Amino acid sequence: MSTAAIIPAAGLGLRLGGEAPKALREVGGESLLVHAIRGLRAATAADLACFVVAVPPGTEDDVRKLLDPYAGPVALLIVAGGAERTDSVRLALELVPEHGIDCVLVHDAARPFVPAEVIERVVAAVRAGAPAVIPVVPVTDTIKRVDAAGLVVDTPDRSTLVAVQTPQGFEPTLLRRAHNGDTAGATDDAMLCERLGVAVQTVEGSQDAFKVTRPRDLILAESILAERRT
Ligand code: CTP
Ligand code: MG
């Protein structure tokens, strides 16, 4: 049995700014998407059989040419993404093979430096029987709930809070069922499984799995890459 990796890469990167869509922005001379593909391939225990990459409509051919040399023996499927991240994931999921896949990973192109151990931990937990698995790290800020007027409602106990990363891993049938339901307002795929009443398992994530969101994040990304290249 093998793993399929869905890579939502169709976002515009409005918070990052710049000319190109975020997934095609470069760090150390290579796009975030190329770094993400390389990172997934480094997780050899995941037994990757296929990548399904959701890209901005109209960039399919260019992205296929860009990624081809990095996919190696892993099948590379490209699909035009949708308006929201969940739309892009749903469209990509339609191309995941029906047979021979025991784990579907969903991994943001905007997280270029996830360590192989994290990816392998997620896949191992799915293979051990957890239907939905997410990598998490502790939160360092105090988090408060606020109302529309900006008044604090309450302060959840920080020791019970975690920040969620990708790749998230799923038993394939569950992920299909989750995306067939109501996806409105979902900011990750695990949330859709929670809506079905499915228990979502957490595993240890990594600070290196941070998401490139704002311009300063590119500086952190450059420094992680420089550290790895020495
Ligand atoms: N994504 C996608 N399709 C969308 C929106 C987002 O495939 N319609 C992808 C992005 O390309 C990214 C991941 O989902 O890899 C996480 O989204 P986010 O960090 O929000 O990226 P963007 O939506 O591109 O950025 P922004 O919200 O700042 O515009
Ligand atoms: Mg976005």
Which ligand has the minimum distance to the alpha carbon of residue 212? 1
Cα distance between residue 151 and residue 153, in whole Å? 6
Do 96 and 5 contact (CB within 8 A), yes or no? no
**Vertex 162, ends 157 and 168: CA angle to 5°?**
155
Confidence of residue 73 (pLDDT cuts 50, 70, 90): very high
Name residue 28's amino acid: G
- Ligand 1 site residues (CB inside 6 A) read 8-16, 22-23, 54, 81-85, 88, 108-110, 211, 213
pLDDT of residue 229: 86
Cα distance between residue 158 and residue 151, in whole Å? 19
- Residue 200 is classified by DSSP as -
- CATH superfamily, domain at 2-229: Spore Coat Polysaccharide Biosynthesis Protein SpsA; Chain A (3.90.550.10)
Closest CA to 48 of 56, 57, 58, 38: 38
Mutate to test the pocket of ligand 1, among 7, 12, 168, 218 (most ligand atoms within 8 A of CB): 12
Cα distance between residue 5 and residue 49, in whole Å? 8
- Residue 141 is classified by DSSP as S
Q: Give the pLDDT confidence of 143-169 residue by residue, as tens digits.
A: 999 999 999 999 999 999 999 999 999
Q: Give the pLDDT confidence of 162-194 residue by residue, as tens digits.
A: 999 999 999 999 999 999 988 999 999 999 999
Q: Token match 């809070």: residue?
A: 161
Q: What percent of the chain clears pLDDT 90, i.e. is strictly above it?
A: 97
**Mean pLDDT across 89-101:** 97
Encode burial over 67-102: b for 16+ CB neighbours within 10 A, e otherwise: beebbeebebbbbebbebbbbbbbbbbebbeeeebe
Q: Give the pLDDT confidence of 110-146 residue by residue, as tens digits.
A: 999 999 999 999 999 999 999 999 999 999 999 999 9
